Amino acid sequence: MIKTVGVKVKGIGRAVPEVIATNEDFAKIVDTNDEWITQRTGIKTRHISNGEPTYYFGAKAAKEAIADAGLEASDIGLIIVTTVTPDYYTPSTACLIQRELGVSGCPAFDVNAACSGFVYAVDMARRYLACGDIKYALVVASEELSKFVDYEDRSTCILFGDAAAAVVLEKAEDTLFSSFLAADGSGANYLASRAMHTINPFRDQDYTYDMNMPEPHKHYLLQDGKEVYKFATNALPTACKEACDKAGITPDELDAIIPHQANVRIIETAAKKLHVSMDKMVLNIADYGNTSSASIPNAFYDGVKSGRIKRGDKVCFVGFGGGLTYGATIIEY
Ligand code: COA
C-alpha cells in the first residue's frame, strides 16, 4: 500500500426533498410497473423537488457537513459544487451556496463531470489542500434531475431523483490516496440534455451543429440506455482497478466501494469483474434512484451514519456518467 498526501473527511452532510415518488406512482403516469423497475434497476423510490432549487438542498447539506466537522462556514477556504442541474448559467451553484452560508471571499465554482462529478471534485480539492493554499475544502454535490427528466419517457424517468450531499475535507499526511480520472467525449450523445437559448433576432438559421444530440429547443435528458449500460459495466471496474493499482492495493483489500448508484445490475456486473462480493458495495439506490453526482456522497453518508464505514476504512468512490466521464478516488476514511 502506497502512502501519500491525501484527504481526511472531517464532516459530512446530506439533504433531500420531502416528496417521494414510488414505482407505483410512476405506473400511474407511464406504462410501467414495480416488478419491471425493480428487476431492471433495483430502484424502489426517489425523492423529487417540489420546486426548491438545486442550491437550496446543496446549502442544507453543506451546513450539516460544516457543523459535523466542528467548523464555521468562515473556516472554509474553497467551495466546489458538482452539478449537471444548476439553477442558472450564471451565477454558479457554488456562489449561491456560499451566499446561503453567509460568507464571502473564498473561491467558489461549479464542476460539471456529470455523475463522476464528486470523484473529480475530491481529486481537485485534494490538489488545493496538498499545496497548502487552503486548510478546509467544501465539496457539495447537488442535483435535481427532475428539472430535465422527460416524465413521458418511461425508459428514463423511472431512473432519476434529486439529492444533495456534502463533505468537508482537510489535508492528511502519510495516508492512502489515489485517483484515476478519465473521459471519452466520443460518447457525448449517449447521455445528453441541450442547454436552452433565447430567441435571437440576428440569427436566420436554426442550430445545425451536433444533430445527433437532443433537438434544439428541447432540453429533456435523452439517453441511449443500452450504450450507457455497456460503457458503465466497463468504466466502473476499470476505474476502480486503475485507482487500486495506483494505490498498490487490490480491489479485495478495499473495505468499501461506493459506486455511482445508477442501476444495481451495473454494480453487480462490476463486482463480478473486480472479483469482489456485493458486500463490498455500499448501496442506497433502492431509496434514491440515480441522483447523478450526488449519488456517491449520498451513499457514503448512509454508509457512515449506519456504521458500515468506519474511521480508517479504505474507501473507493467510483463514478461514470455523461460526457462520457468516469473515475475513481480511494481514500482512508
Ligand atoms: N417499464 C416497462 N417497460 C419498459 C420500461 C419501463 N420503465 N422502460 C423500457 N421498457 C421496455 C422497453 O420499451 C422494451 O420494450 P420492447 O422489448 O417491447 O421494445 C423493454 O422494456 C426492454 O427495454 P431495454 O431498453 O432493452 O431494457 P434494458 O434491460 O436495457 O433496461 C435500462 C433499460 C434503461 C434500465 C438500462 O438500459 C440501463 O440501466 N441503462 C443504463 C442507464 C444508466 O445507468 N444511465 C445513467 C448513467 S449515469
Q: What pLDDT digit, counting tens, does each position of 278-326 carry?
A: 999 999 999 999 999 999 999 999 999 999 999 999 999 999 999 999 9
Q: For residue 161, report the distance from its CA to the centre of ligand 1, in Å.
A: 17
Mean pLDDT of 232-241: 98
According to DSSP, residue 281 is labeled B
pLDDT 10s digits, 14-61: 999 999 999 999 999 999 999 999 999 999 999 999 999 999 999 999
At residue 146, the pLDDT reads 97
186: cell is 466520443
> pLDDT grade, residue 197 (50/70/90)?
confident
Q: Is 115 tagged catalytic?
A: yes
Round to whole Å and give the CA distance between 298 and 144.
Answer: 14
Widest Cα–Cα separation across the chain: 61
Round to whole Å and give the CA distance between 163 and 321.
Answer: 16
Q: For residue 43, report the distance from its CA to the centre of ligand 1, in Å.
A: 13
Q: Does the structure show a pLDDT above 80 at 207? A: no
At residue 148, the pLDDT reads 93
% of the chain exceeding 70 in pLDDT: 99
Would you call 133 helix, strand, or coil by DSSP?
Answer: coil
Out of 95, 290, 298, 316, pick the active-site residue.
290
Out of 23, 47, 106, 115, pick the active-site residue.
115
Is residue 100 packed enough to be buried (19+ CB in 10 Å), middle (13-18) or exposed (0-12)? Answer: middle
Round to whole Å and give the CA distance between 58 and 156.
Answer: 24
- Please report where in the chains the cell 460544516 appears, as a residue: 66
Q: Does the structure show a pLDDT above 80 at 124? A: yes
Mean pLDDT of 67-94: 98
Q: Taking the complete model, does pTM exceed 0.95, yes or no? A: yes
The CATH code that applies to domain 3-175 is: 3.40.47.10
Mean pLDDT of 218-227: 91
45: cell is 423510490
**96-110, 204-218, 276-290: range with lowest mean pLDDT:** 204-218
Are 46 and 161 contacting, i.e. CB atoms less than 8 angstroms apart?
yes
Q: Does the structure show a pLDDT above 80 at 215? A: no
At residue 212, the pLDDT reads 81
At residue 208, the pLDDT reads 74
> pLDDT grade, residue 168 (50/70/90)?
very high
Query: Which residue CA neighbors atom 12 of ligand 1 most closely?
Result: 155
Ligand 1 pocket residues where CB is under 6 Å: 32, 36-37, 40-41, 115, 154-155, 158, 191, 223, 225-226, 228-229, 232, 262-263, 290, 321
Mean pLDDT of 82-110: 98
Do the domains 179-188+217-332 and 3-175 match in fold?
yes
Beta bridge mates, 21: 46
Q: For residue 158, report the distance from its CA to the centre of ligand 1, in Å.
A: 10
Are 140 and 61 contacting, i.e. CB atoms less than 8 angstroms apart?
yes
47: cell is 425523492
CATH superfamily to which 179-188+217-332 belongs: Thiolase/Chalcone synthase (3.40.47.10)
> pLDDT grade, residue 241 (50/70/90)?
very high
Domain ranges of the chain: 3-175, 179-188+217-332
Q: Which of 155, 269, 318 most suits a substitution to test ligand 1, by most atoms within 8 Å of the C-beta?
A: 155
Mean pLDDT of 157-164: 98
Q: What is the dihedral of CA 209, 213, 151, 160, to 10 degrees?
A: -130
By residue count, the chain amounts to 333
> pLDDT grade, residue 95 (50/70/90)?
very high
241: cell is 482497478
Round to whole Å and give the CA distance between 183 and 181.
Answer: 7
Out of 112, 260, 263, 298, pick the active-site residue.
260
Q: For residue 225, report the distance from its CA to the centre of ligand 1, in Å.
A: 6
Query: What count of other Cβ atoms lies within 10 Å of the Cβ of residue 252?
Result: 11
290: cell is 440515480
